[in-house]
C-alpha cells in the first residue's frame, strides 16, 4: 500500500524509476533464486510475444516475455509448481505444461516500469509486475486460473493432495468416481482463490466448506447460476469472482465440481456428528 507521504512525493520520484522496480522469487529444489525486472528484461531468451484475447485485459496484448521453462532449472514434468500473486491468489500448476515447447506455451510477461501496462480497471493496478501468459492455450485446455497476474513467487511443491489431505474425498470411492473428477477440476479452477476445510494457501476467497458449503445454502440452480456469472445473482461492483463459462467448465464438469463440494459437505457433517 502506498503511504500518503509516498503519494505526495510521487511526482518527484517518477523521474527516478529504474528497471529494478520489482522482484520475482523462484524457489526450486536447488535453492531460492531472485530475479529483478532488469535481469528478466535482459534475459537472452526474452522476446516480444503476442497474446491473443488476453485473459486479464480481454483483448490482444503484446508483452516482453521469456519462456517460463527458462526459470525452472532442473524441474521435471512430474513436478508441481505453485504461482503466488501479491493479492493472495495461489495457482496450482502441473509442471508439464509449463515446460513444454509444443502446444500451449507458458511465458512470463515482464512489465517495464518505463513503459507500464494499462490498469485493469478504475482503481485497479496493472497485471504487472509479472504475469504468466500462454500462447495457444486451448491446445492444452489451460484455464483462466492458470494465468496468474501480479505474480510475486513461483515455487516447486508437493502436489495438492499430498500437502492438504483435508481436501481429499473418501478414500473408498472408485478412482473413476465423478467426485474424484470433481476434485481434480476443483484444484484446477477453484483452489487458486478458495480454501476448503481450512486447507490451502490462497488468501483471496472464502473457504468452501467451513463453516458451511455453498451447496448447503444455495439452491442447486442458483449455485450453478452464481458460478456461471456471479453478477447475475448478486450484483457487487467490487466482486472479484469471475464468470466461469462453458469453455472453461462444461456443464458436465460443473456438475462434477458441485458433486465434489456436496461430498465434502457430507464428510464434514459426518465428522461433526461424531
d(CA 149, CA 124): 13
pLDDT of 234 > 80? The answer is no
Residues 62, 49 contacting (CB under 8 angstroms): yes
Q: Is the sign of the CA dihedral 113, 116, 117, 122 positive or negative? A: positive
Region 24-44: what's the mean pLDDT?
95
Structure confidence at residue 174 as a pLDDT band (50, 70, 90): very high
Residues 256, 159 contacting (CB under 8 angstroms): no
Q: Reduce the DSSP state of residue 5 to 3 states and report it.
A: helix
pTM above 0.75, yes or no: yes
**What whole-number percentage of the chain has pLDDT above 70?**
91
d(CA 248, CA 55): 12
Nearest to 250 by CA among 219, 274, 224, 272: 224
Helix pair 251-273, 178-189: axis angle to 10 deg? 100
pLDDT in tens, 111-136: 999 999 999 988 889 999 999 999 99
CA angle 256, 260, 264 (to 5 degrees): 170
Ranges 52-61, 84-93, 197-206, 238-247, most confident: 52-61
140 versus 18: which is more confidently predicted?
A: 140
Structure confidence at residue 270 as a pLDDT band (50, 70, 90): confident
Region 20-37: what's the mean pLDDT?
91
Q: Which domains does the chain have, with CATH numbers?
A: 19-157 (3.90.420.10), 161-273 (2.60.40.420)
d(CA 267, CA 170): 8
pLDDT score, position 44: 97
d(CA 92, CA 118): 26
Report the mean per-residue pLDDT for the chain: 88
Contacts of 11 (CB under 8 A, 6+ apart): none
pLDDT score, position 274: 64
pLDDT score, position 193: 87
**What whole-number percentage of the chain has pLDDT above 90?**
67
Residue 257 to residues 4, 95, 213, 222, 233, Cα–Cα distance (Å): 44, 23, 12, 15, 19
pLDDT in tens, 52-106: 999 999 999 999 999 999 999 999 999 999 999 998 889 999 999 999 988 899 9
Region 27-39: what's the mean pLDDT?
94
Contacts of 210 (CB under 8 A, 6+ apart): 196, 197, 198, 268
pLDDT in tens, 154-165: 999 999 999 999
Structure confidence at residue 2 as a pLDDT band (50, 70, 90): very low
Structure confidence at residue 209 as a pLDDT band (50, 70, 90): very high
Amino acid at each position: 500500500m502506498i503511504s500518503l507521504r509516498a503519494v505526495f512525493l510521487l511526482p518527484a520520484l517518477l523521474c527516478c524509476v529504474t528497471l529494478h522496480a520489482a522482484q520475482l522469487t523462484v524457489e526450486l529444489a536447488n535453492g531460492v533464486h531472485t530475479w529483478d525486472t532488469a535481469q528478466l528484461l535482459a534475459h537472452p531468451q526474452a522476446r516480444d510475444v503476442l497474446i491473443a484475447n488476453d485473459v486479464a485485459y480481454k483483448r490482444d496484448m503484446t508483452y516482453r516475455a521469456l519462456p517460463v521453462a527458462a526459470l525452472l532449472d532442473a524441474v521435471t514434468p512430474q513436478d508441481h509448481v505453485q504461482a503466488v500473486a501479491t493479492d493472495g491468489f495461489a495457482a496450482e500448476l502441473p509442471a508439464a505444461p509449463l515446460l513444454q515447447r509444443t502446444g500451449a506455451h507458458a511465458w512470463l510477461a515482464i512489465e517495464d516500469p518505463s513503459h507500464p501496462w494499462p490498469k485493469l480497471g478504475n482503481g485497479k493496478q496493472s497485471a504487472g509486475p509479472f504475469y504468466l501468459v500462454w500462447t495457444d492455450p486451448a491446445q492444452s485446455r489451460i484455464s483462466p486460473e492458470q494465468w496468474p497476474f501480479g505474480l510475486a513467487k513461483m515455487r516447486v511443491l508437493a502436489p495438492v493432495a499430498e500437502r492438504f489431505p483435508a481436501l481429499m474425498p473418501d478414500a473408498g470411492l472408485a478412482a473413476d468416481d465423478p467426485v474424484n473428477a470433481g476434485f481434480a477440476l476443483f484444484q484446477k479452477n477453484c483452489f487458486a482463490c478458495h480454501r476448503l476445510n481450512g486447507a490451502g494457501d490462497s488468501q483471496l476467497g472464502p473457504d468452501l466448506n467451513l463453516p458451511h458449503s455453498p451447496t448447503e445454502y444455495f439452491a442447486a440452480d442458483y449455485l450453478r447460476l452464481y458460478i456461471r456469472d456471479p453478477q447475475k445473482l448478486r450484483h457487487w461492483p467490487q466482486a472479484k469472482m469471475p464468470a466461469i463459462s462453458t469453455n472453461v467448465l462444461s456443464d458436465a464438469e460443473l456438475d462434477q465440481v458441485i458433486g465434489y463440494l456436496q461430498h465434502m459437505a457430507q464428510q464434514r457433517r459426518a465428522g461433526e456428528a461424531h
